[in-house]
Amino acid sequence: MTDQGAHVPVLLDRVVELLAPALSEDEGRVVVDATLGLGGHAEALLRRNSTAHLVGLDRDREALARATERLAPFGDRFTGVHAVYDRIADVLAGLGIRRVHGVLFDLGVSSLQLDEAGRGFAYSQDAPLDMRMDQSTGITAAEVLNTYAAADLTRILRRYGEERFASRIAAAVVRERRRAPFDTSARLVELIRDTIPAPARRTGGNPAKRTFQALRIEVNGELDTLERALPAAIDALAVGGRIVVLSYHSLEDRIVKQLFAARTTSSAPHGLPVELPEHRPELRLLTRSEPPTSDEIAANPRAQSARLRAVERIREAA
């Protein structure tokens, strides 16, 4: 069991600081924690902003239950919803909410999922190869390993794990699954270690890290979900509202960077003497690719790879 009291949310003070100006003391301010997890960020936001209402989404039923218990003291100022974060528009419509004033995305795998050995996310513990954030639906990592063609395995390892030895690992998986299907993480970790050349194993941490990342992203459709969710969150944002995104690897961060860049840039044709209102940017950058401080990393090693980006809506869409 993960100890909620020991859980340290990543960049907590900075997240609260960035969202606070949009969550003034006015009644009716709504903030969405699109990746609720254990509720650490949500609790801090509700404490800091005494009249705000927080809508928390999570696809992980266990995480949602624990966060709901944690946030019970806030009464009807918190609404928890079992949903993947790309359904933000549907969730808000179902709650009768037209505009929100803050949105937080804390991407990637949660502490609960990493620390629960049976979930199969951590390559350091032998566990069933599940990796689903919502264990009630979808394909498992074991099914990916045991059914995907070598070319498809190579593609996801190369694209989602940025793995140099993707084709070599994929070929080894296909060869070994003929002997026996993959079902637990330890066998996969051993296969990767034996497949990657010795010089490449000496740097960059555990050689299984990239493969586990790729499988997790594939199982949960994380990048496609993010590409749908961010525009939906922007569309739901009131003027003056803010979005904060914490990402943990370059693939996520690139999607966030590119979308924010597109929406913070004028769409006026080059050479137009006067910028028309409809060409003005919808958003302005508050910060770009902000890393954690050394003190933050010392207190919370899982924050090391985090990158924070934030924007504010400055006009309605044309």
Is 194 part of any known ligand binding site?
A: no
**How many other C-beta atoms are found inside a 10 Å radius of the C-beta of residue 136?**
9
Is 249 part of any known ligand binding site?
A: no
> Is 128 in a helix, a strand, or coil?
strand
Strands 237-247 and 100-106: parallel
**Which residues lie across from 103 on neighbouring strands?**
32, 243
Is 148 part of any known ligand binding site?
A: no
Q: Rounded to whole angstroms, how far apart are CA atoms 113 and 301?
A: 16
Strands 237-247 and 307-313: antiparallel
Maximum pairwise Cα distance, the chain = 69
Q: Rounded to whole angstroms, how far apart are CA atoms 15 and 148?
A: 39
Amino acid identity, residue 80? G
Is 113 part of any known ligand binding site?
A: yes
> Is 207 in a helix, a strand, or coil?
coil
Is 138 part of any known ligand binding site?
A: no
Annotated binding-site residue numbers for S-adenosyl-L-methionine: 39-41, 58, 85, 106, 113
Instruction: Write out the binding residues.
Output: 39-41, 58, 85, 106, 113
